[in-house]
A and B are shown apart, each in its own frame.
Chain A
């Protein structure tokens, strides 16, 4: 594993750990077992899970490939711990059960309604926290929303616009 992958894995773990704290899920064990899920498989996410990721965090123009990559990382992370391994299956089953047919085949209004119906479930909070953590720490997502990532390598913003705001009204700026 190269340095970049190691760093990336570290912050996925950190993100999930924080989410775990925020949602009262066991998180420390994920930290310890991080080696086990280091090999994320980008094709592992089902169409339903990719669709779910988009409905949770709908960014116009974000390609499916980004949601797929994120869900691959999420699945690998959740699978690494016995406490969380069954969460995605549980979510898919619960969603399919809402209308009695595959959730992924429903129209968007019904898909959102079904997600809202299960949002009180403990597994939903855990999945939401995990998706949020991986999604908003993903370089492709950063690029899409206009956050360029680490600035240390570029000498910070001292000479790159930390104070370049030019639209504030003259009487108070």
Chain B
């Protein structure tokens, strides 16, 4: 039932990317009978391709195009980074939608704003997203099974006085549901889930969209430029196919969901005489206010075996620190989550060489681990831009990534690692190390939603302030980062955006 559309068919909505944002908005539109062509730069794997080894899978599905600047950890494959994500799906809190009102501007450099929508408005879409993804602890789905690593986190958390500790809020089926099986506790979910228990658009949204007869997926189709007419209306998307040949798919509207770096690149690369600084960039905000969360990771050697490689990688969370409690010395909050690492990553994060390094791998079976994700205030100087002369293999300008930790982020990380140490030492941990993770895995900002066009790129629907038939459908639209892992909110916003696009089409205003 897979449709094929003519390149000249200007009635289709072109969606760039097939991950959490792109896969979802494409399927939601197709379900409403709207014709969609989805351009995905990567190729299409099957579950049989999934090997239970993160480095191997990074070679198969990681995005390794040339970039300049700190590392970004995303995927080029059908399903995008939903193939790699760990499945943790908490909601953004009410006060985090009002970041500026709640925290105030932290200093001259921060560019906090309030989101142009409220939690209350998003609640029905969070509900739909949790149902679609199968988030544990919602919609009569039980909490996730408690792994050894989670049990250590829970026990240590209780010991130091934490109350909000749960193995719910994970989009990995605890039991079979909606055509997907229950979790087999294979471990290292960031390899991709070999049985499909973890939600990924590869085997949910994409095939569901294909069944509607209103959807065509084009793989190894790397979008390079978005074209417009004299009035500034988007008319089509130019992409390179597997052989490097260029094509233009005509479009009624375009949804960009390339995961922040690619989203910024394609908007900036589509400059023209009408839009000399790139599409949707009349106020100079494209690529700016790039956030990637306060990240931290902690590893402890426990007195006896944990075997944290057994079972889901991120299987439970502590929410006590997610609130805004300025007495801690920083604005916003963070979430404490479990983390397990393969031996090579253990060695990498332990750092250095010699006995100080092997202390952790020698005790691999006794390791317990924590991942920290926390609010990261936007700054105008944290940005994605295009290198003026460096070109990649597609002839595209190489993205330049500039990112620095704000002092608020440093203070939050220090606090989170102190608490992580306390959790494990309360149970007799014999060694501990904690550090930053200098990798952009939660990428946000760069085309953010703002009430005032001077502050951002898109309006409350993710629609460009400058161009009515151009939408952004990934984490780029986050007005501020909040603390929660972003995927659930990306999906909720994509469902909401699809409703909006359909209404506008019905009203013939799009």
CB neighbors of A among B177-196 (8 A): 183-187, 194-195
Contacts of B58 in A (CB 8 A): 14, 17-18
**Contact: A133 with B364, CB < 8 Å?**
no
CB neighbors of B among A1-24 (8 A): 7, 10-11, 13-15, 17-18, 21-22
**Contact: A168 with B151, CB < 8 Å?**
yes
Residue of B nearest to A61 (CB): B362
A90 contacts B by Cβ under 8 Å: no
State whether A147 and B364 are in contact (beta carbons under 8 Å apart), knowing that A57-B347, A128-B353, A142-B343 are contacts in the complex: yes
B204 contacts A by Cβ under 8 Å: no
Contacts of A172 in B (CB 8 A): 154-156, 158-159
A146 contacts B by Cβ under 8 Å: yes
**Contact: A59 with B361, CB < 8 Å?**
yes
Total interface residues in chain B, CB < 8 Å: 56
**Contact: B310 with A168, CB < 8 Å?**
no
Contact-size category for A:
35 or more
**Contact: B357 with A157, CB < 8 Å?**
no
**Contact: B343 with A141, CB < 8 Å?**
yes
How far, in Å, is A149 (CB) from chain B's closest CB? 8
Stretch from A40-48, A72-80, A93-101, A159-167 at the B interface: A159-167
CB neighbors of A among B49-63 (8 A): 50-53, 55-60, 62
**Contact: A150 with B311, CB < 8 Å?**
no
The residue that B346 contacts in the complex, of A18, A128, A136, A169, with Cβ under 8 A, is A136
A53 to B124, CA, bound (A): 56
A56 contacts B by Cβ under 8 Å: yes
Contacts of A14 in B (CB 8 A): 55-59, 62
Contacts of B310 in A (CB 8 A): 151, 157, 160-162
The residue that B64 contacts in the complex, of A17, A135, A156, with Cβ under 8 A, is A17
**Contact: B55 with A157, CB < 8 Å?**
no
Stretch from B112-120, B141-149, B263-271 at the A interface: B141-149
A96 to B161, CA, bound (A): 55
A137 to B145, CA, bound (A): 28
A120 contacts B by Cβ under 8 Å: no
How far, in Å, is B336 (CB) from chain A's closest CB? 16
**Contact: B155 with A173, CB < 8 Å?**
yes
**Contact: B151 with A173, CB < 8 Å?**
yes
Contacts of A55 in B (CB 8 A): 353-354
**Contact: A162 with B346, CB < 8 Å?**
no
A145 contacts B by Cβ under 8 Å: yes
**Contact: B184 with A150, CB < 8 Å?**
no
**Contact: A11 with B183, CB < 8 Å?**
no
State whether A165 and B343 are in contact (beta carbons under 8 Å apart), knowing that A145-B362, A152-B194 are contacts in the complex: no
How far, in Å, is A6 (CB) from chain B's closest CB? 11
How far, in Å, is B187 (CB) from chain A's closest CB? 6
State whether A165 and B151 are in contact (beta carbons under 8 Å apart), knowing that A18-B58, A136-B361, A150-B53 are contacts in the complex: yes
A150 to B53, CA, bound (A): 7
A135 to B357, CA, bound (A): 13
Contacts of B158 in A (CB 8 A): 172
**Contact: A168 with B152, CB < 8 Å?**
yes
Contacts of B155 in A (CB 8 A): 168-169, 172-173
How far, in Å, is B363 (CB) from chain A's closest CB? 8
**Contact: A164 with B365, CB < 8 Å?**
no
CB neighbors of A among B353-386 (8 A): 353-355, 357-358, 361-362, 364-365
Contacts of B303 in A (CB 8 A): 167
How far, in Å, is A90 (CB) from chain B's closest CB? 18
How far, in Å, is B424 (CB) from chain A's closest CB? 12
How far, in Å, is A108 (CB) from chain B's closest CB? 11
CB neighbors of B among A92-149 (8 A): 112, 115, 119, 128, 132-133, 135-137, 141-142, 145-149
Contacts of B357 in A (CB 8 A): 57
A63 contacts B by Cβ under 8 Å: no
Residue of B nearest to A133 (CB): B344
Contacts of A133 in B (CB 8 A): 55, 344
- Top-9 shortest CB links A-B: A14-B59, A156-B184, A162-B311, A136-B344, A156-B186, A157-B310, A150-B52, A162-B185, A11-B56
Could you list some 10 contacts between A and B, CB below 8 A? A15-B344, A31-B64, A55-B353, A132-B348, A146-B365, A152-B51, A157-B187, A162-B187, A165-B305, A167-B304
